[in-house]
Amino acid sequence: MPRKICAMSELDRRGWRAFDKVTGGGVGATTGILTGLLISPELASVVGNASGPLFEEASYSIRAVVDRRKAKIDQAGEIACSEGNCTFEVILESALEDDRKIELIARALQAASVAEEKKKINALGRALARGVLNDSQIDEQYRIATTLAGVEVIDIRALALMSGDNKAWVKRSADAKNGGVAALTEIDPTLNNVVDSVVARLSTHGLITDESPGGLSFGHSWKVTDFGRSCHNALLEGEFNCDNE
C-alpha cells in the first residue's frame, strides 16, 4: 500500500521557505529537515518575511539562535555517527520502519539543541545511535535520552554528587541527625533554595529513590538508583571523551 502523504498548509510552505532563507540554504537536506523540526516554521516565517530595521535586528538575533542550535545538533549527530561508525543517513534509514526509533532521533536531537553542557549533547548522540542501530537497546536508550532531556545542569550536578558513593543523602544539614547520611546543601550550598525541586525532579525521573518511605525522625533519605547510575555513567563517558579531545 502506498504511503499517505499529508498536504502541507500554506503556512507550512511559507515557514519552510523562510527557514531555508534563515539558514542560507547552507545545510544538507537531511540536516535541514531535522533542524526544521526543532525550529518553529511559524517563527522562521515571521523572520523571513519581516522588513524594517527593527525586524532586521531581530532577524539577525534569531539567526544566531538557529546557528547555535544547529551547531549542537551537528555535534550530537557527529557523536552518533562516530558511535555507530556510519553516516547519519544510515542511522535514519535504520529508523524508518520503527516509530520508537524515529521518536528517539527527534527527542535526542531536540534535547541536544538546547543542552547547556557538551557532555549532555554527547550522551544524547550516543543514546541515539545505540538505540537506533541496536534493536535490543532501543527501550533503554530511549529512556536514557528522554530522561537526560528532562533534567537540567543543576539536577545533573546533584546526581553526580549523590553518585559519588553508595551512602544515603538527605536534603539539608538539619535533617542529617543520623550517621551514614550526608546533606546535599551542606556539600553544595548552591542547592540551598532549590533542593526540594531538584530532589523531586530526580525522583520523578527514577534517578533516585526514597530509602525511608515510612519517614524517619531525621527526614527522608535518598539513594541513587541503578538507572540513575546508568544515566550518570552515560554523562561521565562524554566527560571523559571531552577531556581527551
pLDDT at site 165: 78
Spell out the CATH class of 153-243. Answer: mainly alpha
Angle at which helices 226-243 and 153-162 cross, to 10°: 110
Percent of the chain past pLDDT 70, that is, above it, reads 67
Percent of the chain past pLDDT 90, that is, above it, reads 51
Answer yes or no: are the C-beta atoms of 111 and 74 closer than 8 Å.
Answer: no
pLDDT at site 151: 97
CA distances, 19 to each of 33, 55, 56, 67, 114 (Å):
10, 16, 15, 12, 18
pTM (2 d.p.): 0.75
Closest-CA residue to 187 (of 163, 152, 153): 163
Tens of pLDDT, residues 204-241:
999 999 987 555 555 688 999 999 999 999 999 856 54
Question: What ranges do the domains of the chain cover?
Answer: 10-149, 153-243
